[in-house]
Structure 1
Amino acid sequence: MSLLDTDGVHATVHEAVATVTLTRAAKRNAQTPAMWRALAEVGRRLPGEVRVVVLRADGASFSAGLDRRAFTPEGIEGDLSFADLARASDAEVDAAIATFQEAFTWWRRSDLLSVAAVQGHAIGAGFQLALACDLRICADDARFAMRETSLGLVPDLGGTQPLVSLVGYARALEICATGRAVHAAEAERVGLANLVVPAAELPAATADLTAALLATDRDALIETKALLRSAVDHSYDEQRAHERAAQARRLRALAGLGE
């Protein structure tokens, strides 16, 4: 079933799997506000039976970042000019960026598992979109880079928290401060990538992971995801209490007793 096909985003649903494809291959899937609106709309339209969302991209690059027209005086026609945004009030700037962020926030919903299949460049906004997903499978030609600081900007699309969570503060700072490329082998070594495969095997590896995720009990996985996401914010004793409560819910559900 086709869910959406507009502004460089194509989304389909087959049974419990949604596939979201970036389709601006000729532009290396450079991102625009229109693309962000489309991605946010996909999140709103997902049917309740969807359990896994796969994010992929056409062409040689996952996403080379923000469309560079945004940096020109003219901006992206009818949509975004950094010059105009800079002249807006604090409230207007905050609201605009919050709207952009909506494309990056729904991938970690508790009722979903999201998988980014990354090949080629994942730069800036592309890096942050991959970070928005729960898991990342990378082709061996994948290259991540956070280039915002070299442009006088900061990563503002939700990427800083997951980056620090995955690789730690010091490495995250070094990656962002230098803007250097993190190649696939390093990405796997430091925890950015769950798996690295030859580029030709990326679709098959993504399908295998999707099948493995679907083979688990959905409600147990939702509870487990919530436990893992909250672990960093809890003390050891608090986390054990959350584990006990979650397990009690699962035991009662399996016994058909409800809450």
Structure 2
Amino acid sequence: MTVSKTLLDQNGVRLTVDGTGAVATVTLDRPAKRNAQSPALWRALTAAGRQLPGSVRVVLLRGEGKSFSAGLDRQAFTPEGFDGEPSFLDLARGSDEALDAEIASYQEAFTWWRRTDLVSIAAVQGHAIGAGFQLALACDLRVCADDVQFAMRETSLGLVPDLGGTQPLVELVGYARALEICATGRFVHAEEAERTGLANLVVPRDELDAAAADLAAALLAAPRDAVVETKALLRGAAGRTYDQQRVAERAAQARRLRDLAGMGE
């Protein structure tokens, strides 16, 4: 039995790496607030990505308690905001450059999950609302409990989803359904999530962690470089023509063949 090592535990985020060094787990650990998010939590998520050892191949993202994440902490919408942080009202009154830079810093917490050298899995239960929905969308794969409730509530609050979630949502469910989900702010439950591709797998709530761990183990079965090359091919496919994709496939396969033949650099 291998023992996990804790590499980070701050501001509602815990990062552990298993004894093999191949699987990291990022846990949202604010269950009393349904893992509501804040700028401090986003900075911790960014730090977790930067602290991943090079041996890590799969990252599991999970939330403690009944909900994956209920979204942005409501304190963000008060005039005073969070202690030691500029309030949203203060940001709105600042320069365009300062506002853009602040939002870009928030987005960093949501971008590293799609790195080609990793496969990320979100294990999602209960509410995944707003920023919680976007964080689940940041991952490559989603294993969901049968009580999952996704919702994109930003538009209902007079805002837009700005944490990197719009592109993966459109990629998964298509433009028309993505627009309807965002503009209405309605809940997407487990059956629809699985049917539309938001969820790769739906399982009973008490089987969620085991199902995510089983998927991680399955992903580790293939050689790392082959998975990295395949992920890169698939991630780039939408931006290439069919002929360009065939060229990319040939180049990737040539690298794999040379590596297997011992001819790689």
TM superposition score normalised by structure 2: 0.97
2:86 is aligned with 1:83? no
SS at match of 2:238: helix
Q: Distance in 2 between matches of 1:40 and 1:52?
A: 17
2:152 is aligned with 1:146? yes
Q: Distance in 2 between matches of 1:48 and 1:75?
A: 37
Alpha-carbon shift at residue 247 of structure 1 (Å): 0.4
Query: What are the superposed Cα offsets for residues 19-68 of structure 1, whole Å, 9 maximum, x if unpaired?
Result: 00000000000000000000000011100000000000100000000000
Partner of 1:114: 120
Q: What residue identity is the alignment partner of 1:91?
A: E
Alpha-carbon shift at residue 77 of structure 1 (Å): 1.7
Q: Following superposition of structure 1 onto structure 2, how do residues 126-141 of structure 1 map, counting pairs within 5 Å?
A: 126-141=132-147
Q: Distance in 1 between matches of 2:93 and 2:129?
A: 26
Q: Distance in 1 between matches of 2:53 and 2:207?
A: 29
Q: Which of 3, 9, 13 is the aligned partner of 1:5?
A: 9
Q: Distance in 1 between matches of 2:152 and 2:88?
A: 18
2:98 is aligned with 1:92? yes
Q: Does structure 2 retain, via aligned residues, the 8 Å contact 1:70–1:80? A: no
Query: What are the superposed Cα offsets for residues 65-88 of structure 1, whole Å, 9 maximum, x if unpaired?
Result: 000001011111211411111101
Q: Does structure 2 retain, via aligned residues, the 8 Å contact 1:123–1:146? A: yes
TM superposition score normalised by structure 1: 0.99
Partner of 1:233: 239
Partner of 1:249: 255
Partner of 1:30: 36
Q: What residue identity is the alignment partner of 2:147?
A: D
Query: What are the superposed Cα offsets for residues 144-179 of structure 1, whole Å, 9 maximum, x if unpaired?
Result: 000001100000000001101111111100000000
2:213 is aligned with 1:207? yes
The alignment of Structure 1 onto Structure 2 pairs a total of residues equal to 259
Partner of 1:196: 202
Query: What are the superposed Cα offsets for residues 228-255 of structure 1, whole Å, 9 maximum, x if unpaired?
Result: 0011111111101110110010000000
Q: What residue identity is the alignment partner of 1:240?
A: R
Q: Distance in 2 between matches of 1:62 and 1:200?
A: 14
* Overall identity of the aligned pairs, in %: 76
Structure 1 unaligned residues grouped into runs of 5+: none
Q: Which of 218, 222, 226 is the aligned partner of 1:216?
A: 222
Partner of 2:176: 170
Structure 2 unaligned residues grouped into runs of 5+: none
Partner of 1:103: 109
Q: What residue identity is the alignment partner of 1:59?
A: G
Q: Does structure 2 retain, via aligned residues, the 8 Å contact 1:33–1:80? A: no
SS at match of 1:117: strand
2:26 is aligned with 1:20? yes
Alpha-carbon shift at residue 257 of structure 1 (Å): 0.5
Which aligned runs of 4 or more in structure 1 are off by greater than 3 angstroms?
Answer: none
